[in-house]
Structures are given as structure tokens and as C-alpha cells.
Structure 1
Amino acid sequence: MKYAINAAQAPDAYGSCSQGTTAGRFVYTSGQLPVGPDGKTIVGASVATQTSRVIDIIEAILAEVGCSLSDVAQTTVYLARIEDFETMDEVFAQRFPQPAPSRSVVAVSALPLGALVEMDCVACR
């Protein structure tokens, strides 16, 4: 069975989805945007600040089900500007413990609310 995650410490999901779901030992987060508590205002103008905010939100969602960033097995990062890869990667490396999760990075033409970065992940409990 799958269950929705509703973490009080994270903004509501943007759009008609859950913040994340659990299915057995696996935890899946929806794509997280760098938004404030209202879920509609982008936090930070730089990709570094936005990446850090997205990871903060993912961390809160994972904590709701007893997980942490060290439980993340895979991430997908969406960048509005591929030239922001190195900056995003620096923040990613600082925040995710070793061994780092596997990762795909996808350049997109635009992200909701004008965000520079969006990220989702899969963790294992």
C-alpha cells in the first residue's frame, strides 16, 4: 500500500500531488520547489540559495517518516539553466552525506513559479 506524507514542517505540495508517498520501505518525494511556508513564494534569487531551500524541504518530508538525507538513494534535479550545474552541485555535495545518492540532472526550459531548481528523491527506510 502507499501512503501520503503530510509534513507540517514543509510547505504544501505545489499542484495536485502529495509532498511525498511511502510504499513499503521506499519513500518518494514529489518535485520540490524552493518555496517559503506559503508554498507560493520562491525563496532566494540564486541557485545556491534555492538548492539549499529545496534540500531543507526534502529533509523535512523525509523526517516526517523517520528518514534523513543519508537514506536518499536517488535524486533527480531539474535546472532552468544548465550553467547553474556547478553551483547546484557544490550545495548538493555539502548537504548530502557520503556515499552520495545517485543523481540525474535535467535541463528544462522553465520551472513553476520561475524557480531555478526543482528536486525529487527516492529514499529507503
Structure 2
Amino acid sequence: KNLLEDLYRSLGFEETELDEYLNKHSRISIITWACNLNLFNCRDQALKAVRSWLSNGTKIAINLEVPIMCGAMQLAPVDDWKMLYAKYESIPDGERKWKLLTGLGCTSHKMFLEK
């Protein structure tokens, strides 16, 4: 946990233009693990990022879309899941649609997975 915490705190949650290649790719794994283990308010940060993207188009770094969507949906309230699902249904097929579906599949609400 300490190693993960050190990396999470040093890399941060958001990508910057000055990030080196290794840091960008390390952040993907760090966010994935932190959210899966429910550490460091990762899920809250992820949900905040997704809500901001859905409501006003605030960008999420392309390589962080899957870990952030997944982290956000793990314990997201029903309304947030439904908003992301509506976004999924509204966009044409492509990579972003796949990323949204991956994030939606991370929900702990089993009733949604039966759709």
C-alpha cells in the first residue's frame, strides 16, 4: 500500500503536458489499482472527472479514459451510471464507445449488467 500511495501522490491523478512517457503509462496502472482497491479517494476523483466531462465537456486524457471511467462507475450512484449509459447510446461506434462500455461494466450494480 505504501508503494502504491507514494506513486499515486507523486504522479497525481491528472496528466500534464510535461509528463514523460513512462509517467503517463505508469499513471494508468496506478489509477487502476488505486480505484480497484478504493484507496486515496480515487473513485471520488474519478467520478468527479466523469461528471465534469458529461456536464461540461471537461477533457479526460485519452489514455486515462478507461481507468477513470471504470473507477468512477465502481460505486457510482444509479443516476451517474444512467448518464454515462445515455452518453454511450448517443455516440457512434468507435473507440470511445468501447471505452464507455468498459467503464459501464465496472459497476457494482449487478442489475445494470443484465441489460
TM normalised by structure 2 equals 0.35
Question: Hey, which of these two has a bigger chunk of helix by percent?
Answer: 2
Question: Which structure is richer in relative contact order (CA contacts within 8 A, separation 6 or more)?
Answer: 1
